[in-house]
Structure 1
Amino acid sequence: MADSWASSETSRRTMVANRRRDTQPEMRVRRILHAAGLRYIVDARPITSSRSRADIVFTKRRIAVFIDGCFWHRCPVHGTTPKANSDYWTPKLERNVKRDQEVTQSLMAAGWTVLRFWEHEDPTTVAAEIIGVWHAANMAESQTRAGNTPDPLVR
């Protein structure tokens, strides 16, 4: 255990059990989106050359959705740093936040709309915002095909 990042065997087992995809917050939002008729890709790389993966991706509309966990991504409301082994956790969590910012910037630079939500946000509200952005992107594409200039998407 001396070489482990975990402060105890129980802590190690808990952290190893955390899922990268198909978390409850993601599943709740995905169910609503699917019921609304939207189709998407799950746990995918919006930019294939990148290591980053979005939770929900609308490739045709170039929309990447991230549902960030409060612990792992340092939610300002619920994010905490463990007291045990804080020398490990503080820089680890700070790197996660920095990576989130870099991923968002690189996707936006590549022409993607990036939506980030916290796991504690109401899934119905989250889905409604995603659906609104999806419809706006759909309308923008229709206008482009018709020869009109679409309004830029902003979140």
Structure 2
Amino acid sequence: MNLEQFKLLSKNKEKENLKFLAALKKKDSRKVDDEFHTLHHEVFEEIDCLTCANCCKTTSPIFYQNDIERVAKALRMKPGDFIEKYLRIDEDRDYVLKSSPCPFLDGDNYCSVYESRPKACREYPHTDRKKMVQITDLTFKNTQVCPAVLEMVERLKKIF
């Protein structure tokens, strides 16, 4: 699926997915986690992030202080210079990238700071966490960014 098809499909499924994910909150948390984790592994066997990188092209991770220090070190910069060059403070008072796509994404969808990337990037799309029922709002947002998350939610609908 190309990104244009994905965007159209995720938009068309928006209301249905909101309703489904809200209903998941009432399910057995362990069963939801088990199914999500199984699907996470299955779907990422089928979908290669390097063919997409929509997350890196359209959204920014939150940068915590230790992320800033780690990435700045990898770039041989002082943390303050890194902040000044790449980051801004958003409406939630978090450090995020000033621009998208991510300045560390190259033309082949590889990350130039991959080994030092922020925690939020390491954990994205958060579909292998415990207590998935607590982050259904985030999961919904990610159905609009990540084709793999949309696919997991579609498969979950068949299970639940």
TM category (shorter chain) comes to: under 0.3
- Bigger relative contact order, structure 1 or 2 (CA pairs below 8 A, ≥6 apart): 2
Larger CA Rg, structure 1 vs 2: 1
Higher strand share: 1
Task: State the TM-score, normalized to the length of structure 1.
Answer: 0.27
Higher helix share: 2
